[in-house]
A = this chain, B = another copy of it.
Amino acid sequence: MNKLSRREEIKACAARLFRKRGYQATSVRDIAAALGIEAPSLYNHINSKKEILEELLIHMGEEFIGGMNEIKNAPISSLQKLERLVALHVRLTIENTDSISLITSEYVHLEGDCRLAYFKLRDAYEKDFRSILLTCIDEGEIKDVNIDLALFSMLSTLRWLYSWYSKNTDINPIALEQEMIKNLINGIRS
Query: B105 near A184 (CB under 8 angstroms)?
Result: no
Q: Interface size (A, Cβ < 8 Å)?
A: 31
Nearest B residue to A168 by beta-carbon distance?
B148
Number of identical protomers: 2
Compute how far the CA of A148 lies from the CA of B183 in the bound complex, rounded to whole angstroms: 11
For A105, list chain B residues within 8 Å (CB): 22, 104-105
Compute how far the CA of A26 lies from the CA of B111 in the bound complex, rounded to whole angstroms: 15
Compute how far the CA of A168 lies from the CA of B156 in the bound complex, rounded to whole angstroms: 16
CB distance from A86 to the nearest CB of B (A): 12
Besides the known contacts A22-B106, A148-B168, A152-B160, 16 further A-B residue pairs in the complex with CB atoms under 8 A apart: A22-B22, A22-B23, A24-B25, A105-B105, A145-B182, A145-B183, A146-B183, A149-B179, A149-B183, A150-B183, A152-B157, A152-B164, A153-B184, A157-B157, A159-B160, A160-B160
